[in-house]
DNA sequence: ATTATACATAAGTTAAGTCTTAAACGACCA
DNA sequence: TGGTCGTTTAAGACTTAACTTATGTATAAT
């Protein structure tokens, strides 16, 4: 289906969550958030070989989180934060819990003590 | 270090990102967001065996995203959304990009057309 | 043209993750 | 006390991820 002609694979939602699950990839995003950078430049500040960095960037690219342009023989990567909105949207539905929880914390504590139920 | 005495393993930040990276685990969190539930009840609505669900719950528990109490011979799982704030906090530093981007989109488009540089 | 540079991709290895089935465990039930 | 119910843990097969080294490709420099 997606191998046909020039069809673009739809941005799978899951990929974004998975892409940011890796500390290394989050660091890459962080570095790119200050300025666009070449692969070499990104790899320098890393305890990782250049191909490894290149591979991680490919994953970020597939998730739509970075884009690359050629500049001479360099490839300049740039952050594209937009897909992160997917995560933000997802988080929104949970936000009420930590606001609600803070309000209800006092009573909860009392209640659970009485019930003699232990949460772990 | 963390195996000593009764020390609690510090909540590794990374675990939360990783815990949430799995669609199955996000579904579990979703189910628990409506009400606390037993493992059996969670497994029912899943194309997954009960032990598999139990294992995923263990991962969520290690990330601090759920807690469990015993109720008779059942184990009732409950959402604890608080660790998600870690992700929310992380996202905050990127939020400016998608607000900024919308503002700057018009000029960017013009600029890149002129430069004849393609982003992918 | 040849060589060097910057990067991507391929191939192979090792480690992690995720399922399944089977066994173990703890609480209740007869 | 023995059984069974709900769940966890263990063990193994299998998949996916992530690195390394080696090779390929495009651009630039000489």
| Percent of chain A clearing pLDDT 90 (strictly above) | 63
Q: Do B67 and A120 touch (CB under 8 A)?
A: yes
Q: What is this structure's pTM?
A: 0.80
Whole-number Å distance between alpha carbons of B114 and B33: 50
pLDDT-derived band at A105 (thresholds 50, 70, 90) equals low
Smallest CA–CA distance, residue A18 to chain B, in Å, is 5
- Is the per-residue pLDDT at B27 higher than 90? yes
Q: Do residues A75 and A65 make contact, with C-beta atoms less than 8 angstroms apart?
A: no
- The token pair that represents A11 in the structure block: 């941005």
Give me the pLDDT at residue B63, please: 96
> Band of the pLDDT at A5, cuts 50, 70, 90?
very low
Residue A102: the pLDDT is 59
pLDDT at residue A4 in the model: 32
In tens, the pLDDT along B5-19 reads 233 444 556 599 999
Do residue B90 and residue A26 have CB atoms under 8 angstroms apart? yes
Interhelix angle B84-115/A23-34, rounded to 10 degrees, is 50
> pLDDT-based confidence at A91, cuts 50/70/90?
very high
Q: Which residues on A lie below 8 Å from B63 (Cβ)?
A: none
Task: Judge whether residue A120 has pLDDT over 90.
Answer: no
* Min Cα separation A87/chain B (Å): 8
* pLDDT for the residue A112: 46
Strand, helix or coil for residue A55: helix
Please give the pLDDT value at position A99.
75
CA of A37, C1' of C11: distance in angstroms: 28
Q: How confident is the model at residue A58 (pLDDT cuts 50, 70, 90)?
A: very high
pLDDT (mean) for B88-102:
84
State pLDDT tens for residues B35-80. Answer: 999 999 999 988 899 999 999 999 999 999 999 999 999 999 999 9
Q: How many residues does chain A have?
A: 120
Residue A76 sits at φ, ψ, to 5 deg, of -100, 120
């Amino acid at each position: 289906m997606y191998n046909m002609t020039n069809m673009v694979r739809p941005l799978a939602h899951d990929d974004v969550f998975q892409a940011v699950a890796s500390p290394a990839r989050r660091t890459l995003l962080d570095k790119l958030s200050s300025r666009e950078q070449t692969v070499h430049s990104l790899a320098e500040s890393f305890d990782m070989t250049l191909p490894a960095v290149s591979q991680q960037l490919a994953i970020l690219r597939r998730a739509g989180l970075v884009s690359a342009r050629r500049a001479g023989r360099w490839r300049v990567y740039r952050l594209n934060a937009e897909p992160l909105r997917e995560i933000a949207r997802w988080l929104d539905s949970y936000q009420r819990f930590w606001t609600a929880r803070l309000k209800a914390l006092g009573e909860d504590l009392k209640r659970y003590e009485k019930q003699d139920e232990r949460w772990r």
